Structure 1
Amino acid sequence: MAQHQKTIQHHLALQILLADRLIKSTKELESSKFDFTDVTKLATQLAHLLRSTTRLVATCTTTLYDRPLRAVISHVSLNLERAETLVQKCKNRTGILRQVFAITTNTDVRKVSSLLESSVADMKWLVSIFVTDDNSGVNLSLPPIASNDPVLAWVWSNIATVQHSTRLKDRVDAANSLGSLACDTDRNKKMIIQEEGVTPLLRLLKEGASFESQIAAANTLYNLATDREKVSAFVRSLAVPVIVQVLIDSTNVLVRIKVVDLVSRLTEMDSCVQEEFGRENVMRPIVTFLGFDLVFDDYVTNSLVRVNSEIRNNGLHLSSSLSFHNRNDTELGSPEEIMKLKITCARALWILAKGSLLNSKKITETKALLCLAKLIQNENEELKLNCLMTIMELAKVGESNSELRRQAFKPNSPAARSVLDQILKIVNHETNPKLMVFAISTIGSLARTFPASETRILGPLVSKLEHEVFDISNETVVALTTFVNPENFNCVDHSKAIIEFNGVPCLMRFLWRNDDVKIQVNGLKLLSYLALHVGNNKALEEARVLSVIEDASRSMVMTQYPEMKEVLAKAMHHLNLYQAGHNVHKKVNGP
């Protein structure tokens, strides 16, 4: 900070020298033809204002917000140099030349005087936005430098107030004003960011002087973070560790809601920020907020205690304890505010987990799965939806990472069992199609974790093949395909179970009802895998599956899906083998 202030003081010192030199030069002019009285007076005012600004910078206890200062000083420098050039020209004009150019020079003097007058007004405005002990709040006057762009002056004034004002109310009002400007146009957002407004807002958020100041800062930052380019300014300002620390330290429910919303917004806009939040482990305070008032049954509690004990005995550490922040550490809000906080936290976890192995691991290392499973029982649809979306995203990441899948979704673990119980309740009893689709998708992603002995899952899934809501039946086909995919160790047992639950006729009716090519491909893939694993099953023969697959393999449409050629060919080979053998057996042993 000291070096920064010294650099600014150096620039100001140069301008003071220019102003003093101009004053001296104008006084040296002897000719009465050129009246530089106003120029001398204005140069003297500028020198005084420049010295006042230098003293202000020297006594500033925080990093000076210098964007308007640099812009104004640049203009002052140009105007002082122009005035000095004119004075030197007048000094060099003698004899007849002095008379010839008198009229023109007087016009130039008036122009220079006008420029210096503008510089004086700019400097007075500049000093006013940094002087914070007059209780005047934000300076809404318009300096000449911003006459063509009034918003620029307002942005400068408000940022300077947020950074330097000694009155908290003025800082809050200024932050809110920046938030309003940001909501008006995208240009305003860019201007606030370009004029370095993010850092003072983060400072206001971090200080935690009042919950009003933190909410004002968080709201404005949220309004600014509307695309990846803008969010990059947050990264440069080291926003992520600041935001995480604010969450850890915060006790006000409304502040938590706003800051968690900000986490979601930044994460949505930039995957690099998503990973940085993971490295700072923002998930821990968010999970704590999500479940601070939850009560778990004895089975879950005892199971976790046993697991933690076993892990400690092995010299390891598991962070999935049930300890939450004490309720006394929180300024309890209304039931509506508490519900809003939970909804916001569940949504943030969903966005943080999406496609991120790092974040998914950190989330599942906490008590998150238990909290999410517990909260899915809540009557609030939005909370239930966000919790389920989080579980679905965790399961999707686990589908492609065996380590996460084994650690987080081990079927006999308390967390995984709690999650599965709630998901099956949704599949069996829920009426909201969106919830059902997410639940079915989750089951599909976890297909490799289910043993062949798990009998609660496939029956309910098969029954959804004929659901009247297309999204549900299609998602069911996709989920069942993961159970019978050859890469699934239990694919044969799962295939037999699907057929036992009368899955083949249901699947055939699904194919007849839908003529969309992509949907047909999903259904044909499931049908082909069933044929590969249990091709000798009578249900496949009775449903004329071989004929359906043969027709599909000859379809020109299938040329769009070359990966299906091999699958269909293998299915036909198996069906021909078993069904041909069955037909020969009937002829030999027939009447």
Structure 2
Amino acid sequence: MLARPIQLADEVAKQCAAARSFRAECTELKARADKLAALLRQAARAPDLYDRPAARIMAGATTALSRASGLAARCARGHPRLRSLFTLSPAAGFPRAVAALDTALEDVAWLLRISSPGAAGDGDDDSLLGLPNIAQNEPILFFIWDHVARLHTGSPAARADSAANLASLARDSQHFAKLIIEEDAVPPLLKLLKDGTDEGQEAAARALGLLGCDAESVEKLVQAGVCSSFATALKDPPMRVQAAVAEAIAALADRSSTCQDLFSQNNTVRYLVGHLASGTIQEHSRYSVGSSSSKNSAAAPQQPMKSLHSVVLAKTHSMRHTGDRDPTSLTDEPPRRSNGTAGGEQDTKRNPHMQSVVHSAMAAKTNTNGSLVPPFRPQLGTSGSSGRGAREVEDPEVKAHLKAMAAKALWKLAHNHLGVCKSITESRALLCFAVLLEKGDGDMGTDVQFFSAMAIMEIARVAEHSLVLRQSAFKPSSPAAKAVVDQLLRVVRKGEYDALLLPCITALGCLARTFTASETRVIAPLVQLLDEREPPVIKEAVVALTKFACSENHLHVSHCKAIVDDGGARHLVQLVYLGDEIQIEALILLCYIALYVPESEELAQAGVLAVLLWASKQAHMVQDTRVEALLPDAKSRLELFQSRASR
């Protein structure tokens, strides 16, 4: 890059020295060429030269020197007076050449300043190193180059400040984010994430998450090794950095599906689940009751048990000493990799069902001798180890934020990815999501309930199309699955139109094929949402009920009867007539009900046959392929059974 401009600078100086005309002007030109040659040689000796601006600067310097060389060559040959009179215009040529060389001198000097170790200052102020001439037409390049140079050569504080500034630029504009990637900012950001200060690591993680503004940008980040770097950062403290990394993982996974496999291969899911479980559910081994003091053991049952933890501990102690286990839970529980109990100081009278769920989960974790199965891995601390000291002294808001970001990252990673969903469900994550969906974050404002609900919804969406995942993660006898369904039903029964309601309805619909015929408590809350609710809620409830009633569900007859028994027919009739955008979805569900329970008296009383006849004459309805396939059979079958009833 530097060889050609150095050669040209020496050539210009030599030609100017041999000038036969305009010697004063050539002397001035020669001085510029000598200075430029000296700076270029200094740049050649520099240990690290920032390549991106260097390429532009050297291209501009080469152009300026080429023009100066042509001007000096004309002065060095031919008759000076004739050359001056006929071929040379010194009033225009020399000033332009000198100005071009001055510009090249300033740009090369700027390049040397930003490429020198320590040139970026100590980070105590926002002083920059001057605007290079090559960036006049696009000043944002100057800011990017300057901050990237600080990432390479600045002090720790300056590097952290530059990472924060690059994150701000990437947040402001997608164009800026792509420019930052093009100007090679990713490698120094990854290095800062690895060995920077706490503030620097946090800023680097945020910047990397914001740089992945689209699938193409995420692909470049993945090629640079961001997945393995993020996985490593999740193991090490502080928690602020881990939270920023988890948020960045969520952002990258949201914008591109290519990184999901790599994150999964680097154990990212495992580390995220560890952060999610910390403080939510605890390892049994940490709360084992010592056998050395029989007096304390004897007195323990007399103490009042006001928390869910105390109930769990008493049950664990009882199982260890008496071998009293729940054989049903042992035989029905799918293989699990780690142990967990529900955490949080919650009154057992207020939530007795969650207490029983945790009892079942604990029993499922015991072996034939009543002892606990060794955990798959230690509980993650802030350093990725089993130590709890550093985590316990952290700010509660930081803990809550990390938990929320871990839930958000798992939600995004689980989207349409069977492998990630298996990794999540084989861990303690489902029980964690159930606990967090119930108790939230203690008014910390982290939206952890929403992220938990969305994660459950994404896993349920994948399970809807995966028999293996349904059988392993959502068996009716699974304590974690029971806890999840309980919390989904709690939100749906509550019926408040908030951020949790729609994903909970969707999750219940996706899990429709996991419910047994005896599970009658799911249909009624969904049917109740059909009565004078917000259109998005009604539509989601209709879609969920359709998954219970459709042909793919082997219990569709039982579910259709349950929908009718809970008064769903009359609500659907109203929705077909007056539902606007919900009309077609309601008509499809009504067709399934008419197909599978046509003998129902409730259908006749609700006027379902009249609705089907009316719908068959509506052009916008029969044009839907699903309606076209279902409506004729449903109408004919309902006519047959209702005519028999009338006779």
TM-score normalised by the shorter chain: which range applies? Answer: 0.7 to 0.9
Cα drift, residue 107 of structure 1: 4.3
Q: 2:365 aligned with 1:305, yes or no?
A: yes
Taking a change above 3 Å as real, the CA distance of residues 143 and 494 of structure 1, as seen in their structure-2 partners, is: closer
Tell me whether 48-57 or 132-141 shows the greater mean CA deviation. 132-141
Tell me whether 289-298 or 186-195 shows the greater mean CA deviation. 186-195
Q: 2:136 aligned with 1:147, yes or no?
A: yes
| Map of 2:145 onto structure 1 | 156
| Residue in structure 1 matching 2:624, options 536, 539, 561 | 561
Q: 2:531 aligned with 1:471, yes or no?
A: no
Could you tell me which amino acid in structure 2 is paired with residue 351 of structure 1? Answer: K
Q: 2:592 aligned with 1:529, yes or no?
A: yes
| Residue in structure 2 matching 1:88, options 73, 78, 83 | 73
Distance in 2 of aligned mates of 1:308 and 1:370: 23
Cα drift, residue 500 of structure 1: 3.3
Deviations 1:327-370 (A, max 9, x none): 33548432222222222222222222223333323322322111
Indicate conservation of the 8 Å contact 2:505/2:540, yes or no: yes
Indicate conservation of the 8 Å contact 2:53/2:111, yes or no: yes
Deviations 1:41-74 (A, max 9, x none): 22221222122111113xx4xxx53111111112
Q: 2:131 aligned with 1:70, yes or no?
A: no
Matches within 5 A, 1:28-47: 28-31=18-21, 33=23, 35-47=25-37
Distance in 1 of aligned mates of 2:244 and 2:218: 17
Structure 1: runs of 5 or more not aligned: 1-10, 585-591
| Map of 1:24 onto structure 2 | 14
Aligned to 1:465, what secondary structure does the other structure show? Answer: coil
Taking a change above 3 Å as real, the CA distance of residues 103 and 30 of structure 1, as seen in their structure-2 partners, is: closer
Cα drift, residue 411 of structure 1: 1.5
Taking a change above 3 Å as real, the CA distance of residues 30 and 473 of structure 1, as seen in their structure-2 partners, is: closer
Indicate conservation of the 8 Å contact 1:253/1:331, yes or no: no
Q: 2:610 aligned with 1:547, yes or no?
A: yes
Q: 2:519 aligned with 1:454, yes or no?
A: yes
| Map of 1:5 onto structure 2 | none
| Map of 1:131 onto structure 2 | 116
| Map of 2:506 onto structure 1 | 441
| Map of 1:263 onto structure 2 | 249
Distance in 2 of aligned mates of 1:405 and 1:320: 22
Taking a change above 3 Å as real, the CA distance of residues 42 and 219 of structure 1, as seen in their structure-2 partners, is: same
Taking a change above 3 Å as real, the CA distance of residues 139 and 131 of structure 1, as seen in their structure-2 partners, is: farther
Taking a change above 3 Å as real, the CA distance of residues 48 and 499 of structure 1, as seen in their structure-2 partners, is: same
Deviations 1:9-37 (A, max 9, x none): xx323332332233233223355655422
RMSD over aligned Cα, in angstroms? 3.0
Instruction: State the number of aligned residues.
Output: 559
| Residue in structure 2 matching 1:423, options 484, 488, 492 | 488
Distance in 1 of aligned mates of 2:627 and 2:225: 49
Deviations 1:421-473 (A, max 9, x none): 11122222353444233222211110111111212222333333325344333
| Map of 2:232 onto structure 1 | 245
Taking a change above 3 Å as real, the CA distance of residues 147 and 331 of structure 1, as seen in their structure-2 partners, is: farther
Cα drift, residue 278 of structure 1: 3.8
Cα drift, residue 319 of structure 1: 9.5
Deviations 1:451-498 (A, max 9, x none): 112122223333333253443333222222211211111112222333
Query: Greater relative contact order (Cα 8 A, min sep 6): structure 1 or 2?
Result: 2
Could you tell me which amino acid in structure 2 is paired with residue 368 of structure 1? Answer: A
Indicate conservation of the 8 Å contact 2:17/2:30, yes or no: yes
Matches within 5 A, 1:565-580: 565-580=628-643
Indicate conservation of the 8 Å contact 1:206/1:243, yes or no: no
| Map of 1:192 onto structure 2 | 180
Taking a change above 3 Å as real, the CA distance of residues 377 and 112 of structure 1, as seen in their structure-2 partners, is: same
| Residue in structure 2 matching 1:122, options 107, 111, 116 | 107
Tell me whether 69-78 or 327-336 shows the greater mean CA deviation. 327-336
Q: 2:40 aligned with 1:54, yes or no?
A: no
**Normalised by the size of structure 1, how large is the TM-score?**
0.86
| Map of 2:211 onto structure 1 | 224
Indicate conservation of the 8 Å contact 1:252/1:331, yes or no: no
Taking a change above 3 Å as real, the CA distance of residues 106 and 539 of structure 1, as seen in their structure-2 partners, is: closer
Distance in 2 of aligned mates of 1:320 and 1:393: 25
- Greater per-residue helix proportion: 1
Could you tell me which amino acid in structure 2 is paired with residue 112 of structure 1? Answer: A
Distance in 2 of aligned mates of 1:181 and 1:527: 53
| Map of 2:394 onto structure 1 | 333
Could you tell me which amino acid in structure 2 is paired with residue 294 of structure 1? Answer: T
Indicate conservation of the 8 Å contact 1:158/1:178, yes or no: yes
Taking a change above 3 Å as real, the CA distance of residues 307 and 157 of structure 1, as seen in their structure-2 partners, is: farther
Could you tell me which amino acid in structure 1 is paired with residue 95 of structure 2? Answer: R
Indicate conservation of the 8 Å contact 2:361/2:480, yes or no: no
Distance in 2 of aligned mates of 1:552 and 1:322: 60
Q: 2:436 aligned with 1:375, yes or no?
A: yes
Taking a change above 3 Å as real, the CA distance of residues 201 and 524 of structure 1, as seen in their structure-2 partners, is: same
**Normalised by the size of structure 2, how large is the TM-score?**
0.79
Distance in 2 of aligned mates of 1:333 and 1:430: 36
Structure 2: runs of 5 or more not aligned: 282-340, 343-357
Cα drift, residue 409 of structure 1: 1.3
| Map of 2:453 onto structure 1 | 388
| Map of 1:3 onto structure 2 | none
Distance in 2 of aligned mates of 1:509 and 1:289: 48
Q: 2:194 aligned with 1:206, yes or no?
A: yes
| Map of 1:6 onto structure 2 | none
Indicate conservation of the 8 Å contact 2:612/2:631, yes or no: yes
Question: How many percent identity over aligned positions?
Answer: 34
| Map of 1:519 onto structure 2 | 582
Indicate conservation of the 8 Å contact 2:502/2:537, yes or no: yes
| Map of 1:7 onto structure 2 | none
Deviations 1:98-128 (A, max 9, x none): 4525862464233322222222221111111
Aligned to 2:530, what secondary structure does the other structure show? Answer: helix
Taking a change above 3 Å as real, the CA distance of residues 374 and 112 of structure 1, as seen in their structure-2 partners, is: same
